[in-house]
Amino acid sequence: MYDFEEGSFEGIVRIWHWVQCFFADFKCHFLDWIFGALEEILGVLVQALAIIPIPGDLTSFTWPDAGPLATALVDLQVPQALSILVAAFTVRFLKGLIPLIRS
């Protein structure tokens, strides 16, 4: 298969290159196969769920207007405050994980 008379290092490099190419191609083809299978499964599920009749009340459903309460919450900048709190808790949680990662 390979001629090792020219030097063992070149032969090892060529074998290593072949292994890298093989696994890269294998990964590409394997992922294509997996995604193709998932696409087919999801297509069958969508067709199967299309058979289920949906009542007219659900097709014409609209969310009720939150009215003045939602406007007041936005004016008080509650969504921004909640996002700042979530970011702070996330940073605090991640800082607590640092000693676990170092060990």
Residue pair 79/73 in contact (Cβ under 8 Å)? The answer is: yes
Q: Are residues 55 and 83 in the same domain?
A: no
pLDDT at 85: 93
DSSP letter at 77? T
Q: Are residues 22 and 37 in the same domain?
A: yes
Domain that holds residue 92: 63-103
- Give pLDDT tens digits for 14-29: 888 888 888 888 888 8
Q: Are residues 40 and 50 in the same domain?
A: yes
Q: Show the beta-strand stretches assigned E in the chain.
A: none
User: Which two three-digit tokens encode residue 52?
Assistant: 């289920």
Q: Are residues 38 and 16 in the same domain?
A: yes
pLDDT at 88: 93
Q: Are residues 38 and 19 in the same domain?
A: yes
For the chain, which ranges sit under pLDDT 70? 1-8, 59, 102-103
pLDDT at 89: 93
pLDDT at 28: 83
pLDDT at 97: 85
* Alpha carbon distance 59, 57 (integer Å): 6
Q: Are residues 50 and 76 in the same domain?
A: no
Q: Are residues 3 and 29 in the same domain?
A: yes
Q: Are residues 56 and 75 in the same domain?
A: no
Q: Are residues 45 and 77 in the same domain?
A: no
> How many structural domains is the chain composed of?
2
pTM (2 decimals)? 0.37
**Residue 16 to residues 5, 7, 19, 26, 48, Cα–Cα distance (Å):** 17, 15, 5, 15, 48
Q: Are residues 38 and 56 in the same domain?
A: yes
